[in-house]
Structures are given as C-alpha cells and as structure tokens.
Amino acid sequence: MQILVFDTSLDKTYITLALQDPNTRVTTFISKKIKSTERKYHSAYLINQIKKILEENIVDINNIDAIGVNIGPGSFTGIRVCLTVAKVIAQQINTRLIGVSSCEILSKAYTKENIILPVLMDARRGMYYCYNPVKTKKIQLLKCSEIKEFFDNLNQGDKIITDNNSKDLSKSLNLDPLSFEENDFPLGDILAEITISKLQTATNVSRCHWSIVKPLYIQTPPVLG
C-alpha cells in the first residue's frame, strides 16, 4: 500500500509518503517538513514538493492507494490549498481521500509517551479551538472564560498541546503546554498513520470518495472589507 498525505493547515507544510511492504506489512514513512514564510508559502510550492517526493522515491502518482489531508481547523488559505490539491489529485487518479482534523493529529503528537492529549489553539477574534478527547470528539470554539470548565477533567501539571499564542493561557490553567510550533513533532507521519487507520475501519468505499471530504471551518473566515 502506498499512501500520500499532506498538510498546509498549520505553521509548516508536511508531506509524507507511507510505503507498506506487502510481505512484511511494515510501513516506512518518508517525510518533508517545510516552514512557511513570506517567500515560501505553501500555495506556491506544494504541488512541486509532492512531485519531488514521489520522484525521489520512484513512486508513480497513479499507484497511490489513498490520500490523507488535514481539513482544519487552521489557516483558512492553508486548508483551501490543501483540500483543493488533494481533491484534484484524488479525482484524476481515481483514488480514496481521507480528511483528518488538525486537533486529532495534534492530540497524538506527543509520541514519547504514546498518549492522547487535549489541544488548545488560538482561533483569533478572542476565540479558541478546544479539543478534549476524554470528554468529546467534537472540537469546540470557546471564549476564554469558557475554557477552564471545558478542561475541568485535567489535573494540575497535565500536558496539553498548544500553539504559541495559547501557551500562557494554558499555564494560567496550571497545565503544561507543549507548543507544536516549538517542538519537532512528526505530524506528517501521524497524519499518515491516522489515514491508514481510517482506511482500515471504513465500512464503505464511498465514505472515502473525494467529493464528500469538506473543509472543517469551525470559525467563519474573516470578511475582507
């Protein structure tokens, strides 16, 4: 099995090939991670980087068994770029497409202890994306005053995944923030692992069709005046 995943919703672009040996079933992950800057924005180079990683590993795009993408929440532009490219490729090569939320990916980022952690991210405009998998699988958009109650099952010193903007807020709740922007988490590999897991548990092939995968816009896009 050959899986291609990519993510342009967060602060970096992640592109990963997951190549599973048909005999041993061992999966090898080959990843690229690119920091987005004013001169290197993901919309400008994503397709070229996908092409490059395929060529470097002698993988024909037409032999890709499935594609996995981060559907958000995160950068509105990043989500649109990621999902548009994924849908075009999936449609052209007639392969399956799996959408995964950024909070599900980030919750599994702390591979050191192999535990699932809650997630807190700045959603701008005084709101925060909150994910507490012990309580609910649904991502909540909450005001600062509502966050403490949402994470009331956590104990002092418990770890939580955050972005840089949410670190101080998590500390005020007596939690231990692990910023995904500062830590070298293998988010591309994690996205690939989740994609493989979802493929294995999909009860119907139609559930993986490119046409039904939608962006996860929890916070409405800003209106430009």
Q: Is residue 225 part of a domain?
A: no
pLDDT score of 191 more than 90: yes
pLDDT category at 63 given cuts 50, 70, 90 is: very high
φ, ψ at 158 (rounded to 5°): -65, 145
62 and 20 in a single domain? The answer is: yes
Q: Are residue 55 and residue 85 in the same domain, yes or no?
A: yes
Together in a domain, 28 and 91 = yes
Per the structure, the count of domains in the chain is 2
Give yes or no for residue 189 having a pLDDT over 70: yes
Q: What pLDDT sits at residue 204?
A: 73
160 and 81 assigned to the same domain: no
Return d(Cα 41, Cα 25) in angstroms, integer.
36
Are both 148 and 72 inside the same structural domain?
A: no
Which pLDDT tens digit goes with each residue over 6-36?
999 999 999 999 998 888 889 999 999 988 6
CATH assignment at residue 77: 3.30.420.40
Q: pLDDT at position 220, please? A: 72
pLDDT in tens, 108-159: 999 888 899 999 999 999 999 999 999 999 999 999 999 999 999 999 999 9
CATH code, domain carrying 139: 3.30.420
Q: Is 30 a domain residue?
A: yes
Please name every residue paired with 98 in a beta bridge, in sequence order, or none if there are none: 68
Residue 218 domain-assigned (yes or no): no
Instruction: Calculate what percentage of the chain has a pLDDT beyond 90.
Output: 79
Residue 125 located in a structural domain: yes
Q: Which domain holds residue 149?
A: 110-179
Does 135 lie in the same domain as 70? no
Give the pLDDT of residue 225.
45
Residue 221 lies in a domain: no
Looking at the fold, whether 9 and 93 belong to one and the same domain comes out as yes
Strands 66-72 and 27-35: unpaired
Give the mean pLDDT of 164-171. Answer: 97
pLDDT for 87 equals 97
**CA–CA separation, 22 and 152 (whole Å):** 45
Residues 175, 125: one domain? Answer: yes
User: Does some domain include residue 169?
Assistant: yes
Per-residue pLDDT tens for 43-56?
668 999 999 999 99
* Pair (86, 193) in one structural domain: yes
3-state secondary structure string across 152-203: CCCCCCCEEEECHHHHHHHHHCCCEEEECCCCCCCHHHHHHHHHHHHHHHCC
User: Is the same domain home to 116 and 89?
Assistant: no
